[in-house]
Structure 1
Amino acid sequence: MFKRLALAVVLASASAAAFAAPVTYKIDANHTSVVASWNHFGFSNPIANFGQVDGFITYDPDHVGTSKVEVTIPLAGLDTRVAKFDEHLRSADFFDAEKYPTITFKSTKVEAAGDKKLRVFGDLTVHGVTKPVVLDTTINKIGEQPMAKRAAAGFDATTTIKRSDFGVDKYAPNVSDTVTIRITTEAVVPKAGDAK
């Protein structure tokens, strides 16, 4: 009788694992960075960091297609380490942050792309314009975050866009139209009561 009970528990556990629900993680803004880089008249390759990132990542390693990402990036968090340049980028010459205060990304499809690799397709909205982009993504680690003592997930991702596609084309092509975006993010399972 005990053996049958033990077997039933094992089978039930295996069945539950096979049909485990996707896990949703809240992005940790303190350990997330979105960095844009471009070429400046052929002389240099400046960068801008976009902080204060907010959003959720849902990931299911057994059913990758059910995974999804939704992110908001406030332009208030833009930081080039040059205050006057930050102001210029937020001005109507570029992002027009007073009118369009956030950048958003919402995934439309996620595909496996090899060992610890994903392709995340989605809609990027910048300057009030929405265009499709693809994030080439690496899974850094899935496990317990020792400080938060909660399940966590970490990812790196890259993509390249044309800023003119979003109506942010001041000084192009001398200041390159092509912008490379690099993302690193850490996200943890939210505490009870955290807004989604």
Structure 2
Amino acid sequence: MRLARPRIRPLAILAAPILVIAAVPVIAQNSGPPGAPDRARVAAGTYAADPGHTMVVWEVDHFGFSKYSGIFGDVTGTLAIDPANLAAARLDVTIPVAKVTTASAGLTAHLLRAGKDGGKPDFFGAAPADAKFVSTKIVLDDDGDEAKVTGNLTLNGVTKPVTLDVDFHGAGTNPYNKKATVGFQAEGKIKRSDFGITFGIPAVSDEVELEIHAAFEKQ
């Protein structure tokens, strides 16, 4: 008795390589991300901020009803770092205030609106200067993966010292451009009145909470 040979359908033949290709990114994902919180992965040198993956998130209290936040993106600048002497690291970044964005087109426009009849704008105005942060002091914790970074923040034409609580997020090689990359996250608080931005206080809080996510690529 002859056994019937199984029929191989054309669609099954086409589907097989597609399934294999589709599985490749899944396998890559299962091997873990390219970066890890391992100080041994940090190479000494000068790094440039990755504008597409560096942002400053700000948050204020609105009328005591809710928190409201916005983002400064496209951050540029440099980080000079040596894992053998982390306290000597130097950070110099520029934040384009004119590119501020919020979840509301109307509020974003208000932030960048010119002053009425040539007067002082409520917030940043129509052509705000870039903000800048330059570190002046770094104090590490005992493990070396957290630090208090103090620097001079220039915003709205005013320069004031600001201290950020910074956590080392990870380091490794970017799989796309093959550059050594380090990443950090930081938190801090400022009073906007210190920088001459007083509109709406106290209904809209004077205190501004900052949450920063930053990636730097070795040059």
Q: TM-score scaled by structure 2? A: 0.73
* 1:36-47 map, 5 Å: 36-47=58-69
The alpha-carbon deviation at position 62 of structure 1 amounts to 1.2
Identity among equivalent positions (%) equals 41
Cα 1:157/1:97, change in 2 over 3 Å: farther
1:151 aligns with 2:180: yes
CA distance in 2, matches of 1:87, 1:73: 18
Contact persistence 1:22–1:67 (CA under 8 A) = no
Contact persistence 1:22–1:66 (CA under 8 A) = no
| Corresponding residue SS for 2:61 | coil
For structure 2, the residue ranges without an aligned partner over 5 or more in a row are 1-42, 114-120
Partner of 2:25: none
Task: Pick the structure with greater CA Rg.
Answer: 2
Amino acid corresponding to residue 156 of structure 1 in structure 2: Q
CA distance in 2, matches of 1:121, 1:148: 31
| Corresponding residue SS for 1:38 | strand
Partner of 2:81: 59
1:93 aligns with 2:122: yes
| Corresponding residue SS for 2:67 | coil
Partner of 1:167: 196
Partner of 2:134: 106
Partner of 1:10: none
| Corresponding residue SS for 2:66 | coil
What's the Cα RMSD here?
1.4
Q: Please, which moves more after superposition, 164-173 or 108-117?
A: 108-117
1:181 aligns with 2:210: yes
Q: TM-score scaled by structure 1? A: 0.82
Q: Please, which moves more after superposition, 111-120 or 177-186?
A: 111-120
Partner of 1:68: 90
Q: Give the count of matched residue pairs.
A: 169
The alpha-carbon deviation at position 112 of structure 1 amounts to 1.0
